[in-house]
Chains A and B, each alone.
Chain A
Amino acid sequence: MGNQDEKTTSKVANSILIETAARKRERKQLLIISLVCIFLFFGIWEIAVRLNWIDGKYLCAPSAVIKTFMTKLSDPKPDGAVLGIHIITSLKLVLIGYIAAIIIGVPLGLLMGYYHTFDKLVSPIFEIIRPIPPIAWIPLSIIWLGVGTAAKCFIIFLAAFVPCVINSYTGVKLTPPVLVNVAKTCGATRWEIFSTVCVHYAMPLTFTGIQVSLGNAWSTLVASELVSATAGLGYMIQQGRSLVRPDIILVGMLTIGILGAIFTTLLSKLENKVVKWRAKS
């Protein structure tokens, strides 16, 4: 009897081992495919520039971009600041605008989703503001706030704000009535229904909104720095254009890409923690 039990448990352990091994192999294969693809892409690009299929005025080779990237780490020429300064300047703008958008937008959306009168109060204004592209706010914000940091943060805030509100709003609206009824029969007050049921239910969608906001924030950053700046990644790109230095432009673009990817990864990590209850489809 006991012997048989041992046998079955060892069988189970074995099958787990086999499965994880198979999964590992699959993951390795996928990784190799991704790497090959990246190398092919950059390889063809490099060759195309070296063999002069593309004029160096329009595009420089990846190797040149890496070289410029390295020198820009310590050399402020030709655009006036080292890469680190550009990154810090932009990061500050994005973070201020983005975090403010989350702090104000998410609770606003959640409350609008739950309280009808509040919804009716805020919705009309929100619906009018919503379709206006954030860039269209640049002139007004310069008049109001000048050409400094505040105006840029404000524009980034507006861009990131809208998806935060819409998604958390929708999340609350989609709360199944039966869950609300459960809370009601358990004696929950209106506020308790909101805080223990609706807010939780809205979390997955809210996170989607926060992710979309991040993309909006970065894309608006570049636009806002085109207007007036003395440092920043958008400014660097703009300088690259005036100086006809595609390598500088590409370094700027690449840096934004990498920073964005880092942020997205961190957010996904946080999301998986907060909404780990979500059933995987």
Chain B
Amino acid sequence: MDEQLGTIKVKLRNISKSFYSRKEVFEAVDNISIDVYENEFLVLLGPGQCGKTVLLNMISGLESPTEGTVQFTDNNATDVGFVFQKTAVFPWKTVMENVELPLELKKEDKTERRKRAQYLIDLVGLNGFENSLPKQLSGGMKQRVGIARAYANNPQVLLMDEPFGALDAQTRYQMEEEVLRIWEQEKRTVIFVTNNIEEAVYLADRVIVLSSCPAKVKEIYNIKLQRPRDYVNQDFLRLREAIEKNTDLAL
């Protein structure tokens, strides 16, 4: 099975995270070990407040684990792209400037970064909005900006933290399709967090189900359904039901 999944990109080994306050210790993540394979679409599925964001923060290096290690096998490749749960666009920057930011911080040549940013803006379907300010964009469009910016980092691993949680159902379905299209076109290793089973089964190569707080690995599902997937296909529904029975999600 392993050779099917390819080479390992990120190794999480016995990761735990606790937060200490004066009175008590709060365990958010408990002893998680995961291998993430190159170019796979990995979905972490877990109930609300179970430590999913904390886990992604540790993978990205924003927080460090209390115990355990995060290791990128490609040594000089710790660059990650992060699409945040809350819309995180800079309100004073235009769409173009937002997408350009990572390249600007890397002091890349101006015309080069324009070109790259324009390519990514076209890729996420924001063509024509380059000079718009975020206040002129809808929620879905802002998440598109976030995705384009994450790609601009030229990341080895793309982390997406419930990027569509705040969108209405219609937009959400559309964005799920888009994300797959973008991923097919610009292959990356994706770690996608969600609390929505349907979304997980629709997107993932592999679904890792997390328990409620503290987060532990509860079960791993390989999703072998053909893409594009159909939400009402028999196999899809069966898989969905199986996962549903096996989660702590309160739905």
List the interface of chain A (C-beta within 8 A of B). 176, 178-179, 181-188, 192, 196-197, 200-201, 203, 275-279
Judge if B82 is at the interface, Cβ distance under 8 Å: yes
Would A186 and B135 count as touching, CB distance under 8 A? no
In whole angstroms, what is the CA distance A203 to B92 when docked? Answer: 10
Besides A178-B84, A182-B88, 6 other A-B contacts (C-beta < 8 A)? A185-B61, A185-B82, A187-B153, A192-B105, A201-B92, A203-B92
A185 with B105: CB separation less than 8 A: no
Q: Are B102 and A187 in contact (CB under 8 A)?
A: yes
**Is A181 in contact with B133, judged by CB distance below 8 angstroms?**
no
In the complex the two chains form, is B102's CB within 8 Å of A197's CB?
Answer: no
Whether the pair A187, B106 counts as a contact (CB closer than 8 A) is: yes
B residues touching A (Cβ–Cβ < 8 Å)?
Answer: 57, 60-62, 79-82, 84, 86, 88, 90-93, 101-102, 105-106, 133-135, 149, 153
Q: Say whether A186 contacts B92, CB under 8 Å.
A: no
C-alpha spacing A36/B46, complex, angstroms: 65
Of the candidates A181, A186, A196, A278, the one whose C-beta lies within 8 Å of that of B91 is A278
The 8 Å CB contact of B92, one of A178, A181, A184, A277, is: A277
B135 A200 Cβ-Cβ under 8 A = no
Give complex CA distance A278, B86 in Å.
18
> Which A residues touch B102, using CB under 8 A?
186-187
Closest to A184 in B: B62
Q: Chain A residues near B101 (CB, 8 Å)?
A: 182-183, 186, 196
**Nearest Cβ on chain A to B117's Cβ, whole angstroms:** 13
Evaluate whether A179 and B92 lie within 8 angstroms (CB atoms) in the complex, with A185-B81, A186-B105, A279-B135 already known.
no
The one of A179, A187, A276 in contact with B90, judged by C-beta atoms closer than 8 angstroms, is A179
